[in-house]
Every structure is written in C-alpha cells, then in structure tokens.
Structure 1
Amino acid sequence: MHFLDQPFFLVFAAISALYAILLIISFFSLATYRNKFDKIYSDGVSIIVCARSELNNLRQLVPLLIKQDYKDFEIIIVDDRSEDGQYDFLMDMAKKEPKVRHVRIDHVPDHIQPKKYAITLGVKAATNDVLLFTDADCRPSSNSWVEKMSAPFVNPKISFAIGYSQYFTSGGLLNAMIRWDTLQTALQYITLNRLGNPYMAVGRNLAYRKSVFLENNGFGSLQSVLGGDDDLFVNKHAKRNNSALVLGETSLVYSVAKKTWSEFIIQKVRHLSVGKHYRWIDKVILRVAGAIRYLMYVTLITAILSGSQPLAVAIVYFFTLVLLLMNVLAIQFKSGERKNMWWGVVLDLVYLIGYLVVAAKAKFSPKIRWR
C-alpha cells in the first residue's frame, strides 16, 4: 500500500517532522554552548535564602555556603515566621559566623505574597550589588558555586546570571518524574536563552543585580501574584544583552525533591499557574511547542491503531526518541549532571499525560500559598 494512501501515517510523519526540528534546534543550542566566563568577579556577593520552618535543611545548607571559596560574600537568611527552632539556630550561627546575617519576618503585609516579601527584605538587607539566590532545600555542587555564578558580572552590562538546578536521586517513580520534569523545563529555558530569549529561570540557582531590582520597584505589579518570584522577574526584565547562561559541573545546584505526590502536584500547580503572566510571545512559543509534542503522541497512537505502515511508524518514532535522548545527554554533559536519565525517553508519554492533568488543575484551582 502506498504512503499517500495512508493519511494517518502522513499526519503522524508531518507532526513528527516538526517535533524533530524542535529537538534538533534544542540539541544544537546545547551542543554549541561554551562557558566563556574565565575571569573572576572581584566585588562582593550576597547570597540570599528565604526559609520558613526549614531548620533541618538549613543545618545542612549553611555550612556548605560558609565553605564557599570566594573572598568576599555574605549569607542572608530571611526567616519567614518559622516555628521549628530555625530562629534560634540562625541567631546562634550569626554569632559564630561573621558571614551569616539573619532577617526575621513576623508579619506579612496583605498587599504582597509571602515569598516575594521575604525576597524584598533580603534584597534590601544585602550590602552588595550582586545577589545570588537559592533555597533552603538546595545544596551547591562545589565550593566554587559563588565564583562561577558571579563570574558573568565582570561585564557591567550583565544584570542576570541564570544557572541550572537538578534534584537529588532517591529512587522511585515520583523522584524519576520530578527529575524528568526538571530536565524538560530546563531544555525549554536553556534553548530559548541560547536563541536570545531568556524567558525564565529557577530561583534555586539565580543571580541578579540589586540595582536592577530596586530600579524596577522590586516585583512591582507582580508582587501580589502567587509564585513567579524567579521566572516572572526574569521574564519581565532579562534580555538578550543583559543576561548570561551559566552551565557547568561546579555551578550546578542540587535540591531535595518532594517526598509525596500531593506535595509535588501542589508545587507544580504553583509553578504552572504563573505562566499566564509571561510575555505573550513566550506563551505562544511554549504553547505551540507543547502542542506539537502532544500531537506527535496522539498521531502516533492513531497511526498504530489504524495499522498504517507499522514499520515506517516505528522508524519515525524511534528517530524522535533518538533526538530526545541526544538532548538529554547534551544537557547533562553541559550542566555536569552525571546521573543517567536515558530512561526518561521511555516514560515521556506517561509524564506528558500527568503534566496535562496538572496543567488543567493549575488553570482551575484556587490559590495555593507559599508554605
């Protein structure tokens, strides 16, 4: 039977071709990345961590931050209404370690979301222009983290340094899905960054100038929006000529993944719900790319059920999986993330179905507060 007589296969092949083009663009964006920041930023850096009842995590994180091999930095921990002994721990650390500073929050004004308020107070307390952000449940991969993430600021035109953060491996389907989701998100924002559109970043590994924050009135009109303290701020103010992408084994940050499905879903809903505040062009790009990816699987299933050219369908699908795997290997190689994730290409359809459910929940769910 001739290919032209097989409409289900032709549609699948056409959609797969579009998906392949996206994957090829993504791969070459990653493969051609070079970390050119070989000079060391000589001025001070302020590390800011906002935490609420994160005593156990801070006991692990703060010593790692203190050990950073950088000559001039301070650590500002914004204690947001903690109730677990975190306050006493931070007071004690501030007495022992001159680099550690402690900002306490007992009340959050109604006009601003708690996380954004905590960040705002941390920024105002910082004594340096370059601010480096991470979360309490994060761990820098090396003692050179501050040095690597601050290096782009040698160039006075740079206002943002966008890093990469992955989650620790702990086994199980949930952890696998979280890590795969993180990698897929990174593929999107790293690719678009390389193409000149730094549309988002993750607050687990992000640096920007205090002057940019203050000049733009902090979070401005976004201060009442739940979430988006990292990606919405970057989406609004980062541009091709004022931002830098920092990838590498020594600039990588690992995070402790959620332990239950409900925690992960709540976190993902919060992240997805801020997407409606992106620039219109970013929403169009992401929706078109996402639609092509979903349609590839829909047409694949349709072609299989129709019995259209099974061998040809298998070859085309295998080709897209190879391209997807190449992207996975590329981002892991460039970022220094060494845990093999080839298995993600097999679970991709399951992940996308779950993503669709969570996205629907994000669109229709009520507000979810930060902790």
Structure 2
Amino acid sequence: MLIIILYFFIAVVFIQLFYYLGVFGKFAFAKAQKVTPKRLSISVIVCAKNEEDNIVEYIPLLAEQNYPDYEIVLIDDASSDATLEIFEGFEKQYPNIRLVKVKNNEAFWGNKKYALTLGIKAAKNEYLLFTDADCYPTSKEWITAMSSQFTMQKTIVLGYGAYEKINKSFLNKLMRFETLLTAMQYFSWAKSGRPYMGVGRNLAYKKEEFFNVNGFINHIQVRSGDDDLFINQAATSKNTTIAYTPESFTYSKSKTTYKDWIIQKRRHVATASYYKKLDKFQLGLFYCSQLLFILLPIILLSFQFYWIVVLSLIFVRYAAVWTVVGFSAAKLKEKDLKYWFPIVELILIFTQINIFITNTFSKPVNWK
C-alpha cells in the first residue's frame, strides 16, 4: 500500500510541475510587455448598485484619464442609496459621461447582467472597457495600456484587478495571494491558447464579441458570471490576449473580515461550476493535486517510507513553484507575497475545500 501511495505522490508532483512550469511558466517567464498607444474610441463601462461611497472617490479618476477619445457609461442598477444622484452630478460635471438608469425588473431582479446589457447597448463605441464601481486605475494611462493590446484579431483583453495592500493584515495577504494565483492561471492559459476566464474589475472586449454569443443569455439564470462565464463562452485562442503592464492594473479595497471574503469566494466557486467541461477538469485536477501534495507525504513520512525520496520531491516541487510564483508576483507588483507563499498556499487549499463542501449544501447569494 505504501509503495502505491509513493507512486501516486510522484504522479502528483509531476502534475504540479506540469502546471507550474509547463503552463504557468508561460506567463511567469514572459518578456515585459510593451505599450503602443492606439487611437481607438473606447467606452468605459461601470455598473453600480448602492456604491455611493466608492463612486464619489473613484469615478473622477476615470474621468481624468489621459486618453483622447473615450466616454464613460455609468449604470445605476436600481440603487436605494444616493448612487443615482451622484451619477447625475457627474453627468453634469463631465461631458463624456453617459448615464443609464435601470429600474427594477421582476424578470431580472437583482441580476447585474441585465443592467450591464443595457449599458453595453447604450455605449456609442465599439471597444468596451469594464471595471467595477469599487475599483480604480493605477494611473491616468489605464485606458491607453488596456486598449493598446487590441489588434485586428485580438478583440478580448484580460487585465489584472488587484487588491490594495494592508500592512500587518494576514487576511489581506491571503486575499492577494489568491488573486495572484488566479491571475497567474487565467493569464497563462490565455497565453497557452485556452482562455477560460477574466475578471470584471479589469476587462475589455469589442461589442461584436458580446453580440456574437447573444450576450449573457446562455447563463442569464446565473446571477454572477458577467465576467468569467462570458469569457468562458466567448474567448478563443485567436481572439484573446492579456494586458499586464503596471499601468493597466486596477485596484480595489480588500475585505476586512474573513466572513466577507468567504462569502465572496463562495460566489466565485459556485460560478466556476458552469465553466466548460475541459476547463472544470483542468481546474479540478490542479486543486486536487495541490491537496494530495499536502496529504500523501504526511502518510509516507509518518512511516519513514523512502523518506529521502519524499523530501527530495517536496523540495523540487517547492523550488519550482516558488520560482514561478516569484516571477509572476514581480510582474504583478506583488513581490512581498512570495515570502508568505508556503503558509498562505496551505491555508488557501483547505479554504477551497471548506468552500466546496459548504456550496454543496447551500447556494451563495449573488450581486447585491
């Protein structure tokens, strides 16, 4: 039995090395990206529901972008706070702001996709750039950096949406590491020709891509997934690229309680269950191999069974992963996370298990 477990462990290590070196290395070891400005007309789309505090601070940052031809489409999704009134004030203040007012619709109540669809249809430009109401760009060159990756063939651009750093907060490090790992995956698979998701905090595509797949209609019953489910359906090796220059990043404030973060992650995990079968398989295999890498050596080492071989495999895996994570973290300006890597990875693995079990017995609430 122990020899079988050892063989399984060796297979798990090779699977992990395949993912980190064979797939994730495509992003980690990629050359620095260049920004060549393009003169495209851009519509920046922001959908908000009860975001009065965030939009006061962040919408002016979007309105002050250093870009010659763009509009901002602000969507108020039937907010019950002062969001609409603030948006109306911005509409008067900035000539390039267009306001879309969404009223409660019984058939699509609480569904962000309905509100986004109205905003996309209202946008006057073909190239669309999305961010959330609680996000802000890192610089005035954000639109330039994201739109520069469009070409005649590449009509979907996946960007990086990071979280602000909070000093002396372990939860913040955990959240940022999970965000880094997720970005490392979807960037790498996109570079490998198998894009499977993107994040609405920083995402761009041509309007024609939206209508080519009939918008969100195929997953309209799922309240979340306006970003990842859409990309899972619309993105291909031919039409998708990535943007990872520092100027292209967006940031948002991280959750401050473990409970709030778990609620957010439950929504994300539940949405992933609607991915294409092959995408669910590759994600499932990766997370299963991570868990088995932790559990199998515990059994082998407790019996001191080929312990030198086991420890050698553990060292090789951690050396490879640490290298790939380190290079990826440097690209995404998250270098401090590599020093916390073994600890946060371990916690994240068991957090994922907890979320999967919880979601099996109860469905998370989506949107607001």
Instruction: Give TM-score, length-normalised by structure 2.
Output: 0.93
Map 1:7-46 onto structure 2 (within 5 A). 8-34=5-31, 38-46=35-43
Verify: 1:55 aligned to 2:55, yes or no.
no
Does 2:163 match 1:173?
no
Residue aligning to 2:191: 194
Equivalent of 2:134, from 114, 134, 137? 137
* Structure 1: segments with no counterpart, 5+ residues: none
Note closer, same or farther for the CA distance 1:5–1:56 as it changes in structure 2 (3 Å cut).
closer
> Residues of 1 paired with 2:20 and 2:212: CA distance?
38
Please state if 1:84 is matched with 2:84.
Answer: no
TM-score (norm 1): 0.92
- Counterpart of 1:56 in 2: which secondary structure? helix
How much does 1:337 deviate?
4.0
Matched AA of 1:164:
Y
| Runs of 4+ deviating beyond 6 Å | none
Other structure's SS at 2:136 match: strand
Q: Which residue of 2 aligns with 1:162?
A: 158
Alignment counterpart, residue 205 of structure 2, candidates 196, 205, 208: 208
Task: Give 5+ residue unaligned stretches, structure 2.
Answer: none
Name the aligned partner's letter for residue 90 of structure 1: F
Secondary structure, aligned partner of 1:296: helix
140-149 or 209-218, which deviates more = 209-218
How much has 1:244 moved relative to structure 2? 1.0
1:180 deviation in Å?
Answer: 1.5
Task: Kindly indicate whether residue 296 of structure 2 is the aligned counterpart of residue 303 of structure 1.
Answer: no
Does the 8 A contact of 1:187 with 1:331 survive in 2? yes
Using the TM superposition, give the Cα deviation of residue 321 of structure 1 relative to its aligned residue in structure 2, in angstroms: 1.6
1:103 equivalenced with 2:138 (yes/no): no
Q: Partner of 1:277 in structure 2?
A: 274
Of 351, 355, 362 in structure 2, the residue corresponding to residue 354 of structure 1 is 351
In the other structure, the counterpart of 2:317 is: 320
Task: Return the offset for 1:278.
Answer: 1.1
Distance 1:6 1:274 in 2: 38
For residue 137 of structure 1, what is the amino acid of its counterpart? Answer: D
C-alpha contact (below 8 Å) 2:262/2:355 kept by paired residues: yes
Q: 1 CA distance for matches of 2:181 and 2:138?
A: 21
Please say if residues 197 and 229 of structure 2, whose CA atoms lie closer than 8 Å, have aligned partners that are also in contact.
yes
**Aligned partners of 1:132 and 1:205 also within 8 Å:** yes
Count of residue correspondences? 367
Q: What percent identity do the matched residue pairs reach? A: 32
Counterpart-to-counterpart distance in 2, 1:39 and 1:224: 39
SS of corresponding position for 1:370: coil
Q: What CA RMSD, in Å, does the superposition of the two structures yield over aligned residues?
A: 2.1
- Structure 2 residue aligned with 1:119: 116
Q: Tell me the residue number matched to 1:288.
A: 285
Q: Does 1:335 align with 2:332?
A: yes
Aligned partner of 2:222 in structure 1 is: 225
Which region of structure 1 is more displaced relative to structure 2, 142-151 or 358-367?
358-367
CA shift, 1:11, in A, is 3.8
Cα drift, residue 36 of structure 1 = 5.6
What secondary structure sits across from 1:104 in the alignment?
Answer: strand
Aligned-partner residue type, residue 162 of structure 2: Q
Moved more, 103-112 or 315-324: 103-112
Partner letter of residue 214 of structure 1? F
Listed one character per residue, the Cα deviations across residues 314-352 of structure 1 (whole Å, up to 9, x for unaligned) are 332222222221122221222344544320223312210
Range with greater deviation from structure 2 (71-80 or 317-326):
317-326
Distance 2:33 2:337 in 1: 26
Tell whether the 8 Å contact from 2:78 to 2:101 is kept in structure 1 after alignment.
Answer: yes
Task: Give me the whole-angstrom Cα distance separating, in 2, the residues matched to 1:52 and 1:194.
Answer: 34
Deviation of 1:56 after TM superposition, in Å, equals: 1.2
